[in-house]
Amino acid sequence: MQAQKPTASIIIPNKDEWKMTCRCLEAIRKFTRESCEVILVDNGSSKVPEVIRQYPFLRLIRNNWNRGFAAAINQGLERAKGEYLVWLNNDTLPSYRWLTQLLHVLRSDSSIGLVGPVSNRVIPEQKIAVSLRSVDKILRFSRQFNRTDPDRWRDTLRLSGFCLVYPREVLQKVGLLDERFGLGTYEDDDYCYRVRQAGYRLVVAGDTYVHHFGSTSFRKNGYDEFRKILAQNRRYYIDKWQRIPEGEG
């Protein structure tokens, strides 16, 4: 899977959720046709299972504390060698043709700066109504659903950072993520706006499904804490851009 100059660099932040992360890594190994490297950024887990070190395509970065989503992605971006860059949550299940189809969107038009798939647990612009509880059902659905169809591509004003793909050219023009969003939320809204400001389009690949189980990382700290972080980052976004985030009015 890995090459000296990989087609794609897949960056996965993680903190302690090793079962989910291993499931995601296995899916990448099984369903990714392109040469790629996976950069796993561990945000302060107590230990790293030995099995993680056995993936030949994996590069591991360890932090002593939880630096947050944006900082973890930036660490991966700074080390990435791929022509295309991928943010991927560890609580996802990429499957049949997932990356091939997302790259096909980007390669179809140089004006497209970011592309993301549809999913079950995501912002409204990318959400589809499915109820898939088992891995077998998810894979069966994805095998039928993930068929290249440009008629199902659509422009959007924002994309979720749970699975996001873009060419290196965009990184060179737009730069890294804003780490002032801390543990997470709104850093993807911020990056999408910056990419649009640079003159690129954002596209939802309506022909590509990536399942999102939903992380427990925020839930572990309690919903009140999550709401506090959400409100704080929303205020920061509004102060930074003097505008409310897309999708909120």
133 located within any domain: yes
pLDDT of residue 70: 97
Output the domain CATH number for residue 166: 3.90.550.10
Residue 102 clears pLDDT 80, i.e. is over it? yes
246 located within any domain: no
Q: Is the dihedral of CA 180, 183, 185, 190 positive or negative?
A: positive
126 located within any domain: yes
Residue 140 clears pLDDT 80, i.e. is over it? yes
Strands (E), 157-213: 163-167, 201-209, 211-212
pLDDT of residue 54: 85
247 located within any domain: no
Residue 177 clears pLDDT 70, i.e. is over it? yes
217 located within any domain: yes
Place of tokens 């572990």: 220
pLDDT of residue 221: 61
Contact 202, 157 (CB under 8 A): yes
pLDDT classification of 219: cutoffs 50, 70, 90: low
Phi, psi (degrees; rounded to nearest 5) at 188? -75, -40
Give per-residue pLDDT as tens, 188-214: 999 999 999 999 999 999 999 999 998
3 located within any domain: no
Residue 5 clears pLDDT 90, i.e. is over it? no
The total domain count for the chain is: 1
Structural domain of residue 61, as residue ranges? 8-241
Report the predicted TM-score, pTM, of the whole model to 2 decimal places: 0.95
2 located within any domain: no
206 located within any domain: yes
Give per-residue pLDDT as tens, 68-79: 999 999 999 999
Residue 2 clears pLDDT 60, i.e. is over it? no
